[in-house]
Amino acid sequence: MVDLSPYEGIVFDMDGTLIDSMPGHMEAWKVTCERYGYPFDAHYMNSLGGVPTWQTVIVLNNKFGMQNDPTEVARFKRETWESMELEPVLIASTMAVFEHYRPTMAIGIGTGAERLQAEHLLAAKGLLNRIDTLVTATDVSRGKPHPETFLTVAQQMGIEPAKCVVFEDTAIGKQAAAAAGMDCIMVKNGEIQI
């Protein structure tokens, strides 16, 4: 078990870190990119994991010189993902950390997902009522890589940012953790990188 004794709080990203929902999100992005004329690059889209959907649309518009409405594209992507009726699974390595430290440490989730989507997914997996706080893209004005998501989680848990550790699966999430003054442990392909 990873030693988290120097910390008082744990902040988990959700998609790709606690719950393996990224394959479904990539499929929804593929359909969305085809619908709105963006070239689809799975590696590039994965690198944007954790960025709120509407903000991802702005990034894509800038990258490809397009003018698609971020709200409309984000809605289409969300509806596409929801219509797929996928059953994401919990990631064993991070859930082991969750279970081990839940009795003694505060645990929050900081995700780039929208609140309704995050609450639905966490409730379906029996986690929503077991965390101390949830901060989503709906709750912040600046998503990852800005530190607002993680700083808000720490504030709501009542813990100084430097006493929190973040579990993340993307470089953008790692940047957000560093900007928040938090240590970050990476999760790659479901395995904790120590």
Q: Which of the residues are catalytic?
A: 13
Query: What CA–CA distances, in Å, run from 185 to 65, 100, 116, 146, 171?
Result: 35, 16, 27, 18, 11
CB 170 within 8 A of CB 185: no
Q: What's the first-to-final CA gap in the chain, in angstroms?
A: 11
Task: For the chain, count helices (H), then strands (E).
Answer: 8, 8
The C-alpha torsion from 69 through 139 and 16 to 11, rounded to 10°, is 160
